[in-house]
């Protein structure tokens, strides 16, 4: 693969920036943040199974609801906590924790002469959020599905990003955290997909390249 990849695209949520596990723990009344992180891991696997089954789902409801349920909270308490999370989203972004691996990883990739950009399923505010997290300057552009009118895993959003870079999809890699959205979508566009699995949700993954730390990317992609 060495020499083939000229451009590396990144997902945003749970790749460059993290969901705020501390906030979720606080709003759920759970003192141990590791409980929320483990619930997040289980929820991602279940969410991916639903997506792979091609069911129409409410992403936020399934993801947040799954975290709450897998943290051991059900019934009226779960309904109340979910409402608190959704209300909080109207005030501040819950996906707001900078992944400390992101800047050194992207800088290492750029130092090798590779180009970088972002493709994200978002609400029109991902560029603003990445700027607030101090990461926006690392990328040539930030593609937001809300603005583009198309979202992952549709191959068109990946192809559109490649065209914007004026590169062939075959010379692009894409890094994201949800297999059914990020791996399958980028693969269908002809890119090299990399599953980012920091919580070790898919320890036996073999359907694409996989990293647990973004700083592994230059080696794994043989850049």
Return the pLDDT at 2: 46
Read off the pLDDT band of 55 (50, 70, 90): confident
Taking alpha carbons only, the member of 176, 213, 212 closest to residue 192 is 176
Residues 125 and 195 in one domain: yes
Do the domain assignments include residue 208?
Answer: yes
Contact 176, 10 (CB under 8 A): yes
Does residue 29 sit within a domain? Answer: yes
Together in a domain, 42 and 83:
yes
Same domain, 73 and 109: no
Parent domain of 161: 7-17+96-220
Asked if residue 13 is part of any domain, the answer here is: yes
User: Is the per-residue pLDDT at 124 higher than 50?
Assistant: yes
In a domain, 59, yes or no: yes
Contact of 152 with 177, CB cutoff 8 Å: no
**103 and 201 share one domain:** yes
Does residue 6 register a pLDDT over 90?
yes
Q: Is the pLDDT higher at 223 or at 173? A: 173
Q: What is the pLDDT of residue 3?
A: 56
Question: Does residue 22 surpass a pLDDT of 70?
Answer: yes
CA dist 169 → 138, 141, 162, 172, 216 (Å):
21, 16, 6, 5, 22
pLDDT per residue over 176-186, tens digit each?
A: 999 999 999 99
Name the domain boundary from 66, 93, 120. Answer: 93
Q: What is the mean pLDDT of residues 136-151?
A: 98
Q: Which of 156, 18, 157 is nearest to 98 (CA)?
A: 18
Domain match, 145 and 158 both:
yes
pLDDT score, position 56: 86
The percent of the chain in helix, strand and coil, each rounded to the nearest 5, is: 50, 15, 35
Cβ count near 154 (within 10 Å): 16
Predicted confidence (pLDDT) per residue in 200-213, tens digit: 999 999 999 999 99
Q: Same domain for 68 and 51? A: yes
Provide the pLDDT confidence category of residue 1 given band limits of 50, 70 and 90.
low
* pTM of this prediction exceeds 0.85: yes
Q: What is the pLDDT of residue 25?
A: 97
Same domain, 11 and 41: no
For residues 129 and 167, membership in a common domain is answered with: yes
């Amino acid at each position: 693969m060495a020499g083939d990849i000229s451009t590396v695209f990144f997902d945003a949520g749970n790749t460059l920036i993290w969901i705020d596990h501390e906030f979720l723990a606080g709003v759920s009344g759970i003192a141990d943040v590791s409980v929320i992180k483990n619930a997040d891991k289980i929820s991602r696997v279940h969410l991916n199974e639903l997506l792979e089954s091609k069911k129409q789902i409410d992403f936020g409801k399934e993801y947040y609801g799954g975290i709450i349920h897998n943290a051991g909270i059900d019934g009226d308490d779960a309904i109340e906590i979910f409402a608190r999370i959704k209300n909080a989203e109207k005030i501040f972004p819950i996906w707001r924790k900078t992944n400390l691996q992101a800047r050194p990883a992207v800088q290492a990739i750029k130092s090798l002469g590779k180009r970088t950009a972002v493709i994200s399923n978002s609400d029109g505010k991902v560029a603003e959020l990445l700027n607030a997290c101090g990461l926006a300057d690392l990328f040539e552009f930030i593609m937001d599905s809300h603005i583009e009118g198309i979202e992952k895993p549709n191959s068109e959003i990946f192809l559109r990003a490649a065209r914007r870079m004026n590169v062939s999809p075959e010379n692009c890699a894409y890094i994201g955290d949800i297999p059914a959205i990020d791996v399958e979508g980028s693969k269908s566009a002809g890119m090299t997909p990399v599953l980012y699995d920091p919580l070790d949700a898919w320890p036996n993954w073999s359907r694409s390249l996989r990293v647990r730390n973004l700083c592994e990317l230059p080696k794994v992609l043989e850049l």
